[in-house]
């Protein structure tokens, strides 16, 4: 997988506190990078109001495959695409790339959009839906898996 496989890119700077005792970015920070690229996109491109909007996204599932180390100081490039866009949920695919362009991690993240007050599933608002649709790939294979075999 390469950065070219993703329609949206975002740069994220590592922080001194991201490194663990082994001298590389701790695995939990990769999930924070996933969360950052997704939610920044939703706020900036989809108009998600994280403070007062009637609908919020809750993480229902996430997965990360680690393929290379990251370390401070480094700027990570996160690639984002939408693999599935449902009525109230979306499955994102994310790739994290080191400064040299090598893949550091890939994974997926599922948001279920819910009513802020009741926490019951809610339709994805039109502005968010349009922004998410712009990230849909014609054909996606979940990161870390192989495409289905031909019949």
Structural domains in the chain, sorted by start: 3-133 (3.10.129.10)
Q: Is residue 73 scored above 50 in pLDDT?
A: yes
Q: H helices within the chain, ranges in order?
A: 27-46, 126-133
pTM, rounded to two decimals:
0.88
pLDDT digits (tens, 9 = 90+) for 86-133: 999 999 999 999 999 999 999 999 999 999 999 999 999 999 999 999
Mean pLDDT, rounded, for 25-38: 97
Residues forming a β-bridge with 112: 58, 89
């Amino acid at each position: 997988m390469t950065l070219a496989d993703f329609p949206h890119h975002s740069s994220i700077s590592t922080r001194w506190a991201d490194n663990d005792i082994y001298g590389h970015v701790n695995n939990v920070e990769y999930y924070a990078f996933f969360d950052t690229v997704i939610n920044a996109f939703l706020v900036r491109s989809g108009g998600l109001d994280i403070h007062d909007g009637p609908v919020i996204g809750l993480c229902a599932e996430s997965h990360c495959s680690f393929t290379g180390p990251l370390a401070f100081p480094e700027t990570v490039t996160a690639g984002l695409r939408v693999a599935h866009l449902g009525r109230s949920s979306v499955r994102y695919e994310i790739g994290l790339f080191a400064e040299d362009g090598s893949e550091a991690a890939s994974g997926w993240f599922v948001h279920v959009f819910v009513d802020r007050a009741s926490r019951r599933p809610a339709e994805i608002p039109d502005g968010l839906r349009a922004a998410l649709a712009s990230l849909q790939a014609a054909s996606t294979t979940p990161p870390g898996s192989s495409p289905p075999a031909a019949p």
